[in-house]
A and B are shown apart, each in its own frame.
Chain A
Amino acid sequence: MSHGIRLSRRRFLQVLAGGAGALVVGIRLAEAADAPLPPALFGDEIHGLGPYVRIDVDGKVLIGARDPDTGTGVATSLPRIIADELDADWNNVSVVPLGLGVDNDNGKPRWAYGRQLGGTGGSIPAAWHDLRQAGAAARWLLLQAAARRIGVPASRLRCSNGYVIAPDGRRFGYGSLAAEASKIALPANPPPPKEPAAYRLIGQGAGDVDARAIVTGQVRYAIDHHYGDALVAVLAHCPWPDGTLAHVDTTDTLAVKGVLKVVQLKPEPGQPLGSTVIAPAVAVLAEDTWAALQGRDKLKLEWKPGASGGENSAALEQQALALLAGKAAPTTRVRNAGDVDTAGRKAAHRLDATYVQPWLAHATAEPMNCLVRLDKDRASLVVPTQAPQLAWAVVQRLTGLAPDQIDIRVPRVGGGYGRRLDHDYVAEAVMLAKAAGRPVRLLWTREQDFGHDCYRAGSVHRISALIDRKRQLLAWHQRMASASALARRGVPADRLWTSELQAEPLPAPLVPNYRSDWYALESATPRGPMRGMPHLSNAFAAESFIDEIAHLLREDPLKTRLRILGTPRQLPLDGGATLDTGRLANVLGLVADRIEWKNWLRTVNGLGIACWHIDGAYVAHAVEAAMQGEKLVIQRVVCAVDVGRVINPLGLQGQVAGATLDALSIALNAAITIKGGQVQQRGYKDYPLASMAQLPNDVEVITVADDRAPAGASFLAMPTAAPALANAVFRASAVRVRRLPLMKELLRLL
C-alpha cells in the first residue's frame, strides 16, 4: 500500500505501510504522473524508496544513506538531518548504505534516488531540503496518528526523542503509532520542516555511525566482499597507457597451483569506456590472491611503447616555463576585467613570481578493486566508487543489459579523493568476468595503483601584480600552464581550462584590472579529477604571492590581506555565487587571534597565514613552523571555517583536521614524475605520505556558528594549508618556496 504527494515536478514524497506494521517514508524521483509503486515485499520497498526512513513497531528507526561514504562522514551526517526532523532517538537509529537506485525508463536509466555522489563536497548541500522534508513528513504522520487515537488535535501534541507526548503527559512510542500513521494521507502541501531553534541533533556532535564496526574489523569494504565461486584477478598493466603487447609467455604462470586462466585485456581503440582510458593488461585469474600474484610474477611479458613513450614530466615543466616566459597567445583568456596593460602608468611597484607544482597521485587507502557476477539477465557488482551512476554507465556499455538489470552495491569506501569518479577498474572486472564465465574479484596491487592512476597534472603559475603608491592592488595578471584533466574526455577545447583554473579566484573580484590566461600542455599520461582541484594549485600560487606582496611592501601580511578584502560586502561572482568579504575577513581574524598573530615579527618561529573560499564556504589557516637544522617542525596549525549551518560539529572538526593534514602531507613530500612515458613511482617509498612525526601534533579547528544553508566541507580545508605553511617557512628560514614538494625544494635552497 502506498500513497504520497508531489513535492516538485520530479520529486515525490511517498508513504507506505511496511511489513509488520512499519511506517516507511521516502523521497523518490518520478517523471510520470503516477509515481512508480515499489514492490510491496518488505525489504524491497526499502530499496525502492531512496533516502527514506522506516519506523518499526518496536520503535527502531532505519535510515538509508544514498551517497557513498568515502570517509567524509555523510553516512552519519545525512541520516541525522532526517532523524532531527523526526525527533527520533538517535540511539535507536541505524543507518544502511543504499545501493544505486536505477529504474528502466524505456531503456534509459532513471535515477530513483536523484544524485548519488560522494566525496565531492556537495552531499550535504544537495540533500539538505529533501531529507528534512522526509523527516518532517514522517513526524507529521505520527502526530496525526496519535491525535486520532486519543481524540486530541495534533496541534496540542509534541514529539520528543521517539515519542509523541500528549498535553496530559501520556507518551506514545513511535513504534506503536507506525501502523496507523502509514494509513494517513499526507496533506496537499508538504508538512513544513522545523524552525532551526528546535534542532536537537543538527548542530550536535556525533561519532561515525560505523565506528564500532570499524574498530572491530567488521565493516566490509568492496575489497572484503566475496562470491563463493569468484576467481581472483590480478593484472600486469602495460607501462605505457597507449602501448601494446609484443610478446607473452604464460607457461610458468599456468603451472602455478591455483592459477586457472590468463586473459589479455585490450582497450577498444578510440572508445574510452565511460570517461576513462584503460591501458592494455594481462590478467591472471586464480583460486586465491596468493596464487594469482605468484602467477602474475611468472608472466614473461614484452611491451612496446606507444606515442607517449617519449613523455617526460621535467620536459613538460620546461615547456610550461618557456610558454609563460614568452609572448605566445594563451589557449584561453579566462578573464579580462579592466585593462591590465594600461594600469602600469600609476604603478609604484611591480612583482612577478612563478610557482611550480608537481603531478600527484590519489593514493587511496583501499586500492582499486571490483567484484562482478554476470548472469544472463543480470549484472551484480560491489564497487568502491564515489559515483555509482557513472559506474553503471560503464557496466551498461559492456553488457548491453537493461538499466534495472544492473545492480551496483556501494559499501563504505576506503578513500576516494576523485579517483573513484573514473571506473577503468570496473570496466576491467566486467571484461574479465565475461572472459572467465565466472564471477571475478579484481584486485589492483599498490604498484598498479600508483603506476596507473588518473593523475593530477603538474602546473606552472606565473603571476604579475602592479601596486600603487597607496599600496592598493592595481592589476593582477595570472597565467597558468597545465595538461587539462578534461582533455580526451569529450570536453570542448574552450572549456578545458575549467578543471585547472578557477573563473574568478581570489583576488579577482577585488582587483580593478584582472586578467587570467590558461595555456594547454599536451600529455598522454592519464589525468582525472582530484580532491580540491583546481583550488589546491590556484590557492598555493595566489596565497603565496599575496605574502610576497606583503614582504615587498614591508608590512604585516594579515594587514595586506585585510586591505585587499576591504569593507565587509557581498560581491556577486560569475556563475551565481557570492563572495562575502566580511565572512572571509572573519575567519582570517579568528586564526590570527588564536595563533597570536600580533607577534608575527617578534616570534622566534615563523608564522604564516592564508585564506580562501569555495562555493559559499570560507577557510583560513595559520601555521607556526620552525627550522631545527634541516628539519622542519610544524609546531602549531590553526584552521577556521565558516560553512553556514553545521550539521555535525564533530564530523566537521574531523574533516577540517583531516583535510589540513592531507594537504600538508601532499605539500611536504608528494610528487609523481614521468620518464620515458612511464610513471616512476610504484609505492609509498617513492611517494611518501607524511609520517606521524612529520605532521603537527594537533590541528586547532575553529568553526563559525552560522544559520545559513549548509555548504560542503570535505576539502574546504585543503587549499590554504600549503600556502600558510610556505609563508611560515619563509619567516622561519628566509627561504621562499615557490616549488612543491616543499621539503625537497627547501633542502635545495637552504
Chain B
Amino acid sequence: MVPVQAQVVPTGQESGIVPEKMRDGIDLQVNGEHYRHTGDPQMPLLWYLRDVLRLTGTKYGSEHGENGADLVLLDGKAVSAITQPIAALAGKAVVTVEGLAAADGTLHPLQQAFIDEDAIGCGYCTPGWLIAGVDLLGRKPHPGDADIDQLPNLCRCGCQTRVRRAIKRAAAGKAGQP
C-alpha cells in the first residue's frame, strides 16, 4: 500500500499542459509553497502537515483541537488544523508556525516578543499560542486584556501571564528591545 503522496507542483507553468494524473488531487498552499494532495480528501490538515509534509511545528493537541496546539492560519484566520479536512482547503493558503518568520529568517514580531518575555514553558503549545496571537494582532493591532482573554489556548506549564506580556510587547512595537 502506498502512503498518501505530496507533490510540489511547479509554479508558473508556461505550457499549460497538465499531465492527466496531476488533475486528480487538491491544490493548496502551505507557507507559500504549492502542494497537491492526492490521498484521502477527508484527511485532516493536521495529519497532512505532520505525516505527509513533515511540518511538525503544528502539534497534535486533541481530537477536536480544544487546546489550541494545532492552530494554523487559514487565509489569515486561526483555525484548528485537525478540524479541517483537506477537501475543504482547495485553493486556500495555510500558514503554520514554520511560516511565520520572513524568508531571510527575521522573526515575526510576536515570535521575537515570545523570546524577549521568555513566554515558553515546555514549548509544546507555543506554536499554537503564536498562531492565535498573530491572528489577534491582525484583527486588533492594539489588543486589550479582554481581547487577550479570548485566546482559546490551554497550557499546563502556566505561560499565560508571559504570553500576555509578549502580545502587548509585540503590539507596542517593542519586540527585540530590552
Contact = CB atoms under 8 A, between A and B. Distances in A.
The prevalent SS among residues of A at the interface is loop
B63 A217 contact: no
Contact of A696 (B58, B127, B161): B161
A288 B4 contact: yes
Interface string A207-237: 1101110111111110110100000100000
B47 A289 contact: yes
Contact of A216 (B3, B59, B111, B125): B111
A657 B120 CA distance: 12
Interface stretch (B8-16, B20-28, B73-81, B143-151): B143-151
A446 interface: yes
Contacts of B159: 654, 658, 661
Contacts of B111: 215-216
A695 B161 contact: yes
B62 A71 contact: no
B1 A257 contact: yes
B123 interface: yes
A684 B67 contact: yes
Contact of B122 (A207, A215, A366): A366
Given A289-B47, A365-B67, A661-B158, A211 B55 contact: no
B33 interface: no
Given A658-B159, A689-B156, A217 B55 contact: yes
Max count, chain B CB within 10 A of own CB: residue among A208, A218, A660: A208
A92 interface: no
B57 A216 contact: yes
B47 A365 contact: no
Contacts of B58: 217
Interface string A412-446: 11110100000000000000000000000001011
A560 to B, nearest CB: 29
Contacts of A224: 50, 56
Interface residues of A, number: 66
A667 to B, nearest CB: 13
Contacts of B66: 683-685
B157 interface: yes
A659 interface: yes
B69 A692 contact: no
A665 interface: yes
Contacts of A214: 120, 123, 126-127
B94 interface: no
Contacts of B122: 69-71, 365-366, 412-415
B155 interface: yes
B30 interface: no
Contact of A288 (B3, B63, B123, B156): B3
Nearest to A699: B161
Interface in A681-696: 683-685, 689, 691-693, 695-696
Interface in A655-706: 657-662, 665, 683-685, 689, 691-693, 695-699
Contacts of A654: 118, 120-121, 159, 162
A689 B154 contact: yes
B149 A692 contact: yes
B164 A446 contact: no
A288 B114 CA distance: 33
Contacts of A288: 3-4, 47, 51-52
A692 B160 contact: yes
A223 B69 CA distance: 13
A7 interface: no
B150 A693 contact: yes
Given A257-B40, A290-B40, A365-B155, A217 B161 contact: no
B145 A221 contact: no
B60 A443 contact: yes
B99 to A, nearest CB: 9
Rank and list the top 9 A-B pairs by shortest CB-CB distance, nearest first: A217-B57, A71-B122, A661-B158, A414-B124, A658-B158, A446-B62, A224-B56, A217-B97, A693-B149
Given A208-B123, A216-B97, A415-B156, 15 more contacts: A212-B107, A212-B115, A217-B57, A217-B127, A224-B50, A258-B1, A290-B40, A365-B122, A366-B59, A367-B60, A414-B122, A415-B121, A689-B67, A692-B148, A692-B153
Interface of B: 1-4, 40, 43-44, 47, 50-52, 54-64, 66-67, 69, 96-98, 100-101, 107, 111, 114-116, 118, 120-127, 130, 145, 148-164
Interface of A: 69-71, 207-208, 210-212, 214-221, 223-224, 226, 232, 257-258, 260, 287-291, 293, 363-367, 412-415, 417, 443, 445-447, 650-651, 653-654, 657-662, 665, 683-685, 689, 691-693, 695-699
15 contacts: A71-B120, A71-B121, A71-B157, A216-B97, A232-B51, A257-B1, A258-B4, A365-B59, A366-B59, A414-B123, A415-B121, A653-B118, A654-B159, A654-B162, A662-B157
